[in-house]
Amino acid sequence: MTAARQVEPSSASGASFKDNWAIKYWGLLLGVAALIAIMLLPTPEGLPVAGHRMLAILAFAVIVWMTESLDYAVSAVVIAALMAFLLGLAPDVANPKVLLGTSRGLGIAFSGFANTALALVAAALFLAAAMTATGLDKRIALVILSRVGTQTRQVVLGAILVGFVMAFLVPSTTARVACLVPIMLGIIAAFGVDKKGAFAGMLMITTVQTASIWNVGIKTAAAQNMVAVGFIERTLNYTITWLEWFIAAAPFAILMTIALYFVMTWMMPPEVDEVPGGRESIRSSLADLGPMKTSEKKLLAISLTLLAFWSTEGVLHRFDTSTTTIAAVALMFLPGIGIMTWKEAQPRIPWGTIVLFGIGISLGTALLQTKAATWLADIAVIQFGLANATALFILGAMSLFLVVIHLGFASATALASAMIPIIIAVLQGVATPGINIVGMTMLLQFVVSFGFILVVNAPQNMVAYGTETFEAKDFVRTGLVLTVIALALVMLLGATYWHWLGYA
């Protein structure tokens, strides 16, 4: 009897563990089920076996990314393993009589790490880490905020201005927002208003939405832009310069920033109009930083020089964005010039982002190489009636599709990795005369950054939400209005400015 009593709890514990595991990792189980189900289906006519298997891997990746059942870095490693084995044991697309081989399959899985866009993302993360390590990002934010007035609406404008300036200098959205959140909390505390009040919520949501808007406006502001640029370079043999991107995207970002100010002050009006002592509190925080350190001066000089190189690429010189950024990072580590050591930088780098980025590019490249993206695109062209549609109709239909599917993604980088190769294939498959595939892909990449609606649509949203200054419903209701305005601007600019530029 005693022995039986000892066994029973163990058995119950085992059942509980299994139940909990199944609940916790239901997304992973669903992804595996989708993978197996698609693999068991007959290979469609005109689709290589390798392409069929890539569709199964894509389904697995999308489900795992949407449900966040695995850490993004872990999911990337799992996807690489699946590509190595499933592609390796599939017939070669170029020579179906022989198997591709796991060695070549693994090579395809890691081919994204040879993309120059990955080098830019990694270098950008080092720059963001240097900003945090030296405190330069905080100083820039406080200097700007110290010069705005004490009226709450002026503080909101100051927060928008800070987000705009930081987007040029800190090429990581999460890093920018993580820097600004504590500063905004300090302002809220200095004003003496309720942390859960309208002003606090409006200020925090404005901060994070500004970051998302300028992810569109500036090529180097977000990793997902680099995904699109990487696919465009590899597939279409064209490099979009920093200035070309800015000329196309800046008008949209400026108009959206203006809309953001009015939407937020209208939908979440602050409970106070002016708070005395607010500016003094910011200046006090700035004084606490002390005089500008040598490391900050060096980093500011490097950052401004780098920005000058970015903005004059293809105009005054032929150095691409990735190369100049890598050179800037190299300078940061050189003795004498060095701003931080490798040991200091290493723990500040989100290595998982780099792994996800590399495998994401590999996934998209494999979809294109195995003709899986083309097969999916042909279906999309028929179903959406895009075969002979105008460029503006294609832009509108694909934009709406991306906004809807983004609701299921918590990472714009993952969304870009899954969707941009398909978008390129769709654009290649339409019969619209004179369509600019490069330009249209860039415009649709802008829409990939529209994570305005749900808190879970972007890491920076979650950082802000963690402050408990606003409720998710406030983010949703303001985000829906911003998304409608953004889509309207896409159509307006598509019919006018972007059409004049030859992109739409």
Question: Region 473-491: what's the mean pLDDT?
Answer: 96
Please check the confidence at residue 2 and state whether its pLDDT lies above 70: no
Longest dimension (CA), the chain: 86
Contact at 8 Å (CB) between 483 and 403?
yes
The pLDDT confidence band at residue 499, using thresholds 50, 70 and 90, is very high
What are the φ and ψ backbone dihedral angles of 189, each rounded to 5 degrees? -65, -40
Instruction: Report, as an integer, the average pLDDT of 428-443.
Output: 93
* 12-26, 282-296, 350-364: the lowest-pLDDT one: 12-26
Of 37, 74, 78, nearest in space to 55 by CA: 37
387 contacts 430 by C-beta, under 8 angstroms: yes
Whole-number Å distance between alpha carbons of 126 and 143: 23
- Residues 79-103 have pLDDT tens digits of 999 999 999 999 999 898 999 999 9
Q: pLDDT by residue (tens digit) across 17-33?
A: 555 776 678 889 999 99
Mean pLDDT of 262-271: 91
Residue 444: per-residue pLDDT: 97
Burial 299-338 (b: 16+ CB within 10 A, else e): bbebbeebbebbeebeeeeeebbbbbbbbbbebbbeeeee
Is the CA virtual torsion 136, 164, 420, 244 positive or negative? Answer: negative
Residue of 220, 216, 227, 222 lying closest to 251 (CA atoms): 216
Residue 84's pLDDT is what?
A: 96
What pLDDT is recorded for position 410? 72
Mean pLDDT of 366-389: 86
User: How far is 161 from 145, CA to CA, in rounded Å?
Assistant: 8
Q: Which residues pair with 151 in a beta bridge?
A: 274
Render pLDDT for 45-58 as a digit per residue (tens, 0 to 9).
889 999 999 999 99
Give the up-direction half-sphere exposure of residue 237: CA atoms within 13 A in the CB hemisphere.
0
pLDDT beyond 70 at 119: yes
